[in-house]
Structure 1
């Protein structure tokens, strides 16, 4: 007597979801959203394509979850700094960003490419998912530090925010032609070294030191 297959959701291994996230990350970084098919993601992950609907409902759902999970460690540090800002909060955010992105060095290019898409209904859906990860109140740390006199005298908090974002993001967006001209090789080891140096620039260029804080007290 033939054995009946169980009805309902497909039986899956615990690591199938992770495999889909990793496959999506690789394919979306290397290709435009429209060029990546559900079948290609499933093939890359070596799982059945039905699991994308099972876990994420759609390709867009997978894309959104892939973005969210990749930058979650940075969000955790942002949330921690939002609740309790200290002198080294910007450094911790920067170091967290470099740590995760040194493992995914092309991921910021995906974020930039998605943010720069032409305005269409489909692209607006992609951008809405992206913007949901970066609400305006996420990076208010410099305004708070300014109010607490934790920035050096004469530092504009908005300019400080722009300098911070530049230090954090530009190394990952720098065109390869410029890297080659300047003989820069952005290996994971180099990026970790750069993170520490940029943290020093933040500390000495923007943040008030202890003696300045005591004078302002």
Structure 2
């Protein structure tokens, strides 16, 4: 049988290989500074040859980008669905999707994001992170202003930009704050606590930035 040039045999045909590489790379990028993570280490943890990283992704930077994009994809899909269905309940759905599909599988992701953004602005990890998350940040703007604001769901006089900041702050802060501080509030990133936080934040945001069901603004 003739092999395709540059295409590794064996594991390259394993449909699970790519996801194993994504999973192990995400774990390493969360636990270690970007420059300390190597392609060989990722491949070793995934139980495959390092050539498969090049085959599926090209290099470490492209693998890092794939990790970010695939992790946040549920939120991107949710934002797009929310824009198509302008209803108050999309706020609740968005909050729960964030915790259930992203944070449940990678609770250390927000802390990693903050660590990467502390790198020099001209560094590879900063640029990859900035470009990837710019898409989500823009979607939050469009969702708040168009999905909720233009649909008449926001409270009268509410600043959409500050509403967006409130959404990001409530969902992000508990996961980037020092663990010793969050312990004082009785919070840890367990499934149970994340579900409680999702419910709480949904109630706070719904009650704080949306109109009442009868169309009146909150007093």
Aligned to 2:69: 68
SS in 1 for 2:158: coil
Aligned to 1:104: 106
1:20, 1:168 → 2: CA distance?
28
- Alignment of 1:180 with 2:199, yes or no, is no
Against the structure 1 CA distance between its residues 123 and 28, is the aligned structure 2 distance closer, same or farther, given a 3 Å change threshold?
A: closer
2:76, 2:128 → 1: CA distance?
19
2:57, 2:39 → 1: CA distance?
11
Range that drifts further, 42-51 or 82-91: 82-91
Q: How does 1:125-136 map to 2 (within 5 A)?
A: 125-134=127-136, 136=138
Aligned to 1:171: 174
Q: Quick check: which has more Rg, 1 or 2?
A: 1
Aligned to 2:31: 30
1:138, 1:179 → 2: CA distance?
26
SS in 2 for 1:103: coil
Q: TM-score, normalised to structure 2's length?
A: 0.87
* 4+ runs deviating over 6 angstroms: none
Q: Are 2:99 and 2:198, in contact at CA under 8 Å, matched by a contact in 1?
A: yes
Against the structure 1 CA distance between its residues 156 and 128, is the aligned structure 2 distance closer, same or farther, given a 3 Å change threshold?
A: closer
Q: Are 2:121 and 2:127, in contact at CA under 8 Å, matched by a contact in 1?
A: no
Q: Structure 1, unaligned stretches of length 5 or more?
A: none
Aligned to 1:10: 8
Range that drifts further, 23-32 or 145-154: 145-154
Against the structure 1 CA distance between its residues 183 and 202, is the aligned structure 2 distance closer, same or farther, given a 3 Å change threshold?
A: closer
State how many pairs are aligned. Answer: 211
- Alignment of 1:193 with 2:196, yes or no, is yes
SS in 1 for 2:27: helix
Q: CA deviation at 1:6?
A: 4.6
Range that drifts further, 9-18 or 126-135: 126-135
